[in-house]
Amino acid sequence: MRLTALALLLVLPALRADEGMWTFDNLPIKKIQAKYGWAPGQAWLDHVRLAAVRFPGGSGSFVSKDGLVLTNHHVGHHWTQVVSDAQHDYVKNGFVAATRDQEIKVPGLALFTLLEMENVTDQIEKAVPAGADEQAAAKAKAAELAELVKEQGAKTGLDCQPVTLYQGGQVWIYRYKKHTDVRLVMSPEYGVAAFGKDWDNFSWPRHDLDFSLFRVYENGKPYAPAHHLAWTGKGVSYGDLTFTVGHPGNTSRLETLAQMEAKRDVTNPMAIRTLDRMRSSLHAFAALGEEQSRLVSDQLMGIENAYKVVVGETDGLRDKVAMARVAEAEKELRAKVEGDPKLKAAASSSWTKIEEAVAQLKVMAKEASLMGALRSETLGSAVSLHRYATEMQKPAEQRTPQYQDEKAFTALKTRLMAVKPTDAGQESFTLLNVMIGAQQELGAEHAITQMLLGGKTPEAATKELLSGSRLGDAALRKALVEGDPKAILEHSDPALVLARKLSPKLDEIRKRQQGFQSVVSENLTRIAKARFAVYGTSTYPDATFTLRLSYGAVETYPLSGTLAQPFTTFAGLYDRAAAWGPKAEEGSWELPARWVERRDKLNLFTPYNFISSNDIIGGNSGSPVVDKKGELVGLAFDGNIESNAGRYYFDARLNRCLSVDARAIVEALDKVYDAKHLVAELTRKN
């Protein structure tokens, strides 16, 4: 990549800056039309929006009139695990319901479809009494919004959710239909859905059959959605216009340069080190045996993913060309703010204030990072219990709000009593990690390190704490929470003793951190408001895990000295499996038996995965990729490694969305899974 990218760029076709995660009420129709000679109309937009589905943390779409829902295997991973047990590992071995009777109800899974959106900004603003100061105004607006949400919920029977866009520039209520009877229909084996395992995550060329199928039921019968996406007939080609419809989680494209630089130089490198320690210890734990490996596989996948994300982000923040563009945009906005007396008064000093607060946060970054590192169940619950006891010593009216609201207080106590079941081995790895992290980041001489280790080695300190503490005992926890809180403050359990020492120090750090963060946050809102005043809805709001549309095209990018191939095929899948063999790197490129056996049944040159220039980010996983006809041509499942800087900026040269080709899904269902009934349902013409 690197320099070569620059070189290859010279001969690349004209760049297409398909930036933007657009809300459905505000699409750059003219821009799309001008560039692609076609733009969606209202019927098209309504159709794809109403076919879209929100999963927990991801996206999906209705793909049949009988409520069949398509999403990624990795979005469905957790839910497939939920319906698995020791005898039926549907994640590893895959699952196909041969009939509707066999479809498995997934407890706890709820899906949402966005039926209506209403801009309530004016209404909210009107609720502010004349002459109210800023704080009173905010309070009035919040109350009005809560009231509206409640009122609309009661009136429509829909799940109403407030949505703040443009950092407060617009307030909406999105009204969703909530589906709670969702059943697993089909899921391929993990080994082909995530071929190349963690190694291949974010890489391209890719060979992942990253899809799974669920079905929504209502009243015990398949749900009939008003809209579903028709399956493509001929598929998508190089250069074709594509749209993704999904729920990008969050972006920070409006952060200031000072914030991005602090991430690049201080907090991201630290996060990388922390993840690296966690990863190493989980790998070591997984190496102990098959059961240990199963226990942490999900967690490890999350960490490997987070690791690549933060490494990719950091890499992006180090890209001089792209960051110069970010700096340029900031300079332009600052100039416009300076040029407008009202904006100048409101936000001119905000960049400097953020810069100063960020400088302070950089100084205390290592200490602050330890907060999030208290992941040990034992130590974490001890600190929570200690905080509870301390709070209870105060007069009732001085306690934090959580203690003053009956419902919240009950919930808190329930949480404190709930003993999270953890494997003792895993817990010791986690705590050891905290100890080593303190030693390495803060140094042996730091007060926190000395409290944690008590002069011992990290291994000895961990062993002593875990063998001595009885906080994993549910009866003890119950007794502590229901008894006199003073007992907690005097208890001899070594975890509580340690929490007693640590807490004042942790509280002090937290308070300092929150102080600087509130300066950052307040000034960022001021900048955002100024930005909205200058640019309005000519731009798109930062992602908020609400429905967005991105447009783009199937398009190459400079990769490793050449141009990235726009598609892969099943032949590429088998090529890589053959290149590595089933044993290399712990079977990362080993194909499931069914795939080995049925190779010659497949048309090997069926398009499998493809890349496009759509602007997506985490949360978009499972987004349908649709063409001009509104037909489903693909299923977005990842970004390339270069797109990890997408949190901060969109780089048209390099950011690519990775999708499973719709043609591969039916080819596999047909030839590998003998699921002709599903092929028929997906490709049915109505």
Q: Edge to edge, what strands does the sheet with 548-553 contain?
A: 548-553, 241-246, 624-626, 632-639, 657-661, 607-612, 567-569
Among positions 107, 108, 233, 581, the unique one binding a second copy when judged by CB under 8 A: 581
Beta strand residue intervals within 528-628, DSSP E: 548-553, 558-559, 562-563, 567-569, 607-612, 624-626
Q: Of the two residues 210 and 377, which places its CB atom closer to a second copy in the complex?
A: 210
Contact flag: residue 284 with a second copy (CB under 8 A): no
Cα separation, 322 vs 51, whole angstroms: 35
The token pair at 259 is 């914030």
Q: Candidates 96, 286, 626, 641: give the one binding a second copy (CB under 8 A).
A: 641
Which of 254, 322, 326, 559: binder of a second copy (CB under 8 A)? 559
Length of the chain, in residues: 686
CB of 369 to a second copy, least distance (A): 18
Neighbours of 12 (CB within 10 A): 14
Give the contact letters, 9-28, x = binds to a second copy (CB under 8 A), - = no: -xx-----------------
CB of 657 to a second copy, least distance (A): 15
Per CB under 8 A, the list member of 98, 359, 563, 596 interacting with a second copy is 563
Q: Is 204 in the site for a second copy (CB under 8 A)?
A: yes
Report the sign of the C-alpha dihedral through residues 645, 650, 655, 660, in that order.
positive
Q: How far apart are CA 621 and CA 305, in angstroms?
A: 13
Q: Which of residues 295-324 bind a second copy (CB under 8 A)?
A: 307-308, 311-312, 314-315, 318
What's the CA gap between 594 and 583, in Å, rounded? 17
Give the binding range for a second copy (CB under 8 A) out of 56-64, 486-494, 497-505, 577-585.
577-585
**Binding-residue total with a second copy (CB under 8 A):** 53
Question: Per-residue x/- mask for a second copy, residues 98 to 137, rule CB under 8 A?
Answer: ----------------------------------------
CB 670 to a second copy: min, Å = 19
The span of 154-162, 392-400, 464-472, 564-572 binding a second copy (CB under 8 A) equals 564-572
Smallest distance from a second copy to CB 198, Å: 9
Q: How far is the CB of 668 from a second copy (least distance, A)?
A: 16
Answer for the pair 16, 652: CB distance below 8 angstroms, yes or no: yes
Binding flag, residue 1, a second copy (CB under 8 A): yes
CB of 604 to a second copy, least distance (A): 7
Could you count the other beta carbons within 10 Å of the beta carbon of residue 545?
18
Q: In angstroms, rounded to a whole number, what is the distance separating the alpha carbons of residues 130 and 132?
A: 6
437 contributes a contact to a second copy by CB under 8 A: no
Nearer to a second copy by C-beta: 259 or 268? 268
Give the interface segment with a second copy, choosing from 81-89, 192-200, 394-402, 409-417 (CB under 8 A). Answer: 192-200
Residue 217 structure tokens: 């039921």
* Alpha carbon distance 180, 111 (integer Å): 7
Backbone angles phi, psi at 164, to 5 degrees: -100, 120
Cα(373)–Cα(437) distance, rounded to whole angstroms? Answer: 8
CB 611 within 8 A of CB 566: yes
d(CA 83, CA 90): 8
- Decide: is 276 part of the binding site for a second copy (CB under 8 A): yes
Nearest approach in angstroms of CB 588 to a second copy is 8
Closest to a second copy by CB, 471 vs 658, is 658
DSSP count for the chain of H helices, then E strands: 30, 20
Among 118, 565, 628, 652, which residue sits at the site for a second copy (rule: CB under 8 A)?
A: 565
Residue of 84, 152, 201, 655 that binds a second copy (CB under 8 A): 201
SS3 breakdown of the chain: % helix, strand, coil, rounded to 5? Answer: 55, 15, 30
Nearer to a second copy, 312 or 619 (CB): 312
Which range binds a second copy by CB under 8 A, 357-365, 489-497, 571-579, 616-624? 571-579
The residue within the footprint of a second copy, chosen from 437, 541, 566, 624 (CB under 8 A), is 566
Among 149, 272, 306, 652, binds a second copy (CB under 8 A): 272
Q: Which long-range CB contacts under 8 A does 363-367 form with residues at least 24 apart?
A: 364/509, 364/512, 364/513, 364/516, 365/266, 365/267, 365/270, 366/270, 366/441, 366/442, 367/442, 367/448, 367/509
Residues 391 to 430 in contact with a second copy, rule: CB under 8 A? none
Residue selected from 117, 149, 534, 571 as contacting a second copy according to rule CB under 8 A: 571
Instruction: Enumerate the β-bridge partners of residue 658.
Output: 611, 638
Residue 36 or 580 having the CB closest to a second copy: 580
Rounded Cα distance, 171 and 164, in Å: 5
Evaluated on CA atoms 124, 130, 133, 135, the torsion sign reads negative
CA–CA gap between residue 428 and residue 285 (Å, rounded): 10
| Binding residue for a second copy, selected from 251, 381, 544, 640, defined by CB under 8 A | 640
Determine if 4 is a binding residue for a second copy (CB under 8 A).
yes
Stretch touching a second copy by CB under 8 A, among 109-117, 330-338, 463-471, 583-591: 583-591
Q: Looking at 7-15, 154-162, 335-343, 464-472, which segment touches a second copy (CB under 8 A)? A: 7-15
Which residues 208-267 are close enough to bind a second copy by CB under 8 A? 238
Q: Which residues are CB-neighbours of 110 under 8 A, at least 6 positions away?
A: 56, 178, 179, 180, 182
Residue 68 is encoded by which pair of tokens?
Answer: 């069949």
Residue 676 in contact with a second copy, rule: CB under 8 A: no
Q: Which amino acid is at 575?
A: D
Rule CB under 8 A: choose which of 93, 159, 162, 199 binds a second copy.
Answer: 199
Q: Which parts of this chain interact with a second copy (CB under 8 A)?
A: 1-4, 7, 10-11, 196, 199-204, 238, 272, 276, 280, 283, 307-308, 311-312, 314-315, 318, 559-563, 565-569, 571-572, 574-576, 578-581, 584-585, 589, 604-605, 607, 640-641
